[in-house]
Structure formats: structure tokens, C-alpha cells
Structure 1
């Protein structure tokens, strides 16, 4: 059953496109990335999520080149605010930068309209009201269809909706990352905002296939993440193995269990798993309408109580760039 996002019905599972250009494992060839995108459309994916920072523009160029001819078949989402293409990495969501970055994305994507455009990270130097006001101008001009926020807290969301309707809040959410349960899921429901869960399969960890984190590709984003390091990983792997066993009992894959668990938390929830594997691409939507029952959700919640997972989801430098509420230590 479809759910509404930015004013239109879409399947509750979309495709996070970052990994097609960078992030996890050995980078794909252009041909392989093209295969994933086209196969996704054929499988019924109708929500594709990218960002200016993904591959420093390469991901948007890829999507524009490969999917431009089928633009009417999907909701297109992109993001701005993390700047890397003209100097050191920084966060900049000032009005002038928002407009400049939007124009870059429109050109790269080969379109005159982005359905859903996100502020990728909070900019602590610019009031959220100014950033949302600038994005509202882009809505009025027809360059974007709706406004989204990412990795922000409930307080910021409420300040933002006072300026302009917000269509979506995109934050990390999975059985082992549950910060949004503190306040964001409820705030989204209160204001009619879709909650978009990125990394809903725990950056691949909850599939149960990853064992040797030391063997990850040198440029893999997970290598410096505390959860994937040393004793933290050894401990977390025990939790993951228990999760995999629950999935086996239910006759679903661990990825399907993770996605079903996310979507069971409200009709305003969406999930955007990413993958470079064609089999996983099909697996993620094969049981799209399946949900675990309340007893199973409670069992998973008990397994992954926030205090049970060892290590923060981000290294310290990146942790300072997000404002999602934190559970007490």
C-alpha cells in the first residue's frame, strides 16, 4: 500500500542512491550503477533519493543521465548543505548557498524541478527560519516541489513548519539506531510530515552478512564509525546474530525484518535502503507490504534497547554535525 510523500503516493520503500557513487565497498562502474537504477524502476521503486554531496555531484549526474528519460515514473529527492566541491568540507545553508546549490543540482539532474529538496544538515550559523524561507522561495518559483530536513530534532522541525510546510524529515532509523523515537517520529505525525528512514538496515550490518569489518574497503564510511570498531563490533555482532535468528523464525530475510520493523512504526514512515547488489535490490521490495506483529516489534525493541548497542553511530567530528536527540548514556 502506497504512502504519501511530498503530496503524492509512493511505495513505502524507496532507493537511497548514495552507495552507487561512494560510501560502501569498492566503487561501482558506471555501467553497474546504471543497471541498478534501471532495475530499480523495473521492480517498482518510485522514490529515488540523492544529494549534491554524493560523489561530489557524480550521483546526481548519474541519475540525470540514466533516468532522465523516465522522469515521470518516480519522485526525485535531493539535498544540499554539505559543501565539498570548492574547498574543505563544511555545512552552509545560507540563502545564497541554497539557491546556488539548487541550480547545480537541477543542471546535474537534467531537470527543471526537484520534487523534494532537503536541507541535508543543520547549519548552526544560520537560523532555520532563514534557510526554510530561502527554500520556500524555490517552491514559489517552481524549482522544487516540497521542502525536507535531515538529521534535525523535533524543536527545529517545529520552528521550520512555522515558516513553511515541511514535507519530510530524513533521519537515520533502524532497530539499532532509534534516536527518532525520542521525539521526531511523534513531531512528524503531529505536523503531517513524512519520516524518511535512511540506513534502515543499519548500514548493512543488520543483514548478518558482514562479519570481518577489518576487511572493509579502505574508503568505506563504516571503518571509522565506533559501532564497527574492535570490541564494540564484537559485542554488536552478538545482537545482530540474535536478530538474524528472529528473521529466520519468521521466514523473512533480516533486511526484510528490519524494513518491516521501521514501517510498522507509523503510516507516515518511509524507508530508503541503499544497495549496489541486484539481488538485494529485489529482496528489499519483495515483502514491501509485510509487517512484523506487535509481539515481534516488542521483542526486537528489547533486543536493541539503545543501551545495548555499543558505540555511537558517528565518529566525533560527524556527531557534531547532527542534532537528533540522544538517549541518556
Structure 2
């Protein structure tokens, strides 16, 4: 088993950017050279070519493959729900976890079509985090323990990792993490989530502003404990474990991307192996992707969560690799122009 990369303190995470595996540039160059010899005009497959080269660099092979795709959905409950920021009760989190486990959710159907092995990890749903407007949502010890749970869920033999989440109230948590990491007004980051009306949006903005102001003096990585939830901490742990095993990662939409904002704000290189699967309809996601310098693979006006957009993006990556590996070169096809 790959040793978990989660250190003994949050403060030690920044140093991981220098010690974790880096992209193999030689493999990426070899993949780029192969793309330029395939029977097509150079660059004519657009982003599909970039994605194949990206995967080659992280998998350390000119012709990358996705024989084993793992999808992880982490679920948690949040103390900030006591402020009334969510139109649905927190019991829905456990009910949706049961739906995932029974195969009845969108993510189940999409993972089946994308050939991804799905696991759902419920994180102490009977014990919500604390309300971040009154104090830290989690202690440092609790955050690190949950990061380790996320890291332990990663299969080190996977070729690609899809990450998603479920948690009533976590669009408010995501807005707070993004606001703390990248600034601006709280209203820049809040969206409708699971169905908030205009009054609900205003309340969410006020709650986010209160929480971010309360914890503003903390270092970036400490915001994960102060404002985040267990599913956000588990996502960060899984991202670090995937990096240790050189596994490329597909993050889902706004909430999943925002979960990694404390890592990016601490050391952007910690997310070099991550792609954003899709552009969420949540208004803060475009701003967040721009701040992180990441272009989503898809834009389908989705805002479901669960890892659904990332699972769809996996199908695009499979298409990119099918062309990269299966197409003939000019020399192999006997076509002039290579």
C-alpha cells in the first residue's frame, strides 16, 4: 500500500509541494510527439490532445490508459445548517447515501457508463461539524483524521480518480472556503445550491461573510478546519494520496473544487495533477476555476454534485486516449504528410 501523504500537522502540508511526485515531462513530450504523427492535422483534436498529453505526464508513459478508474463520493453534515442556510433537512444526506448504495442516483448510472468503480464514504453523518460562525468547524486533529480517511479510500492501483461529494449545506461551506482562499465579497461565491430562493441567497451570503471574517487571520490551510466539513477534508486527503501514487484526478463541480481551495491557496502545485471535470451552474465556479487557472473539461449547465460532471468528463478522457492510442501514424497508414 502507498503510505498516506497526510502529515502530522496542517502546517506541514505546504512542504509537500516540493516532495510529492511531479509530472514526467519526458513522457509528456513523447505523447506530444506521437500526437503530431497521428493521421490528422496537428492540433485538430483540440483539447483531446492536451488531455492525452496531461495523462501521459502523470502516468509516466507515452501511451496512457485508464484500465481502472475509481470514483469516490464523500458525504458529511454541517453545523452551519443551524443558521437555516439549507432548504432541506440534514437527514437527506443519509437518505442520499442510501440511494447511492442502492444504485439509484445519477452518479451510479454515469459511473456504470464511464466504467468507474464507485464507492460512497459516509463520514460520521450523525455528528455534524460545528457552526463555523461560532468557532472552528473542526479541530486540527479531526481534520487530519478525516483527511487520512479520504487518503485511505484511494486505490493506489487506479489509473484515474473521480471525486465527488454529498452533504446538505455544503454549498455554503464551499462558498466560505472559496471566499477565504480568493477574497472578494461573500455574495460573489454563493449560489442557489439545492434550491435557495433570493432570501436564502442573502442569508447564505451573510453567514459566509460572518464565518470568513471570524477566521480571517488563519493561514490558508487552517481554513480547511475552520470553515470546511468532513467531506471537504476527505477530498483533500484523497487528492494528496492520488498525487503520491501519480494518479490523475478529476474534480467535480463547485463544491468539490472549492474543497481543494485551501490546498491551492497553500501551494498551487499541490493540484497540478487535478483536472476540473465540468463547469458548474453555481455562479462561483467560473470565478473559482479562473482563480485556480483550471479550465473545466465540460460545460453542460449541471449543478447536481455527486461527482456527476466528473464522471461524464471521464468519458471524454477515455475518448481522448482511444484516439491517442488507437489511431495510426502517417507512417503506419502510408499517408503522406507525416
Return the TM-score normalized by structure 2: 0.31
Between structures 1 and 2, the one with greater helix share: 2
Return the TM-score normalized by structure 1: 0.31
Largest Rg, 1 or 2: 2
Higher relative contact order (CA 8 A, sep 6+): 2
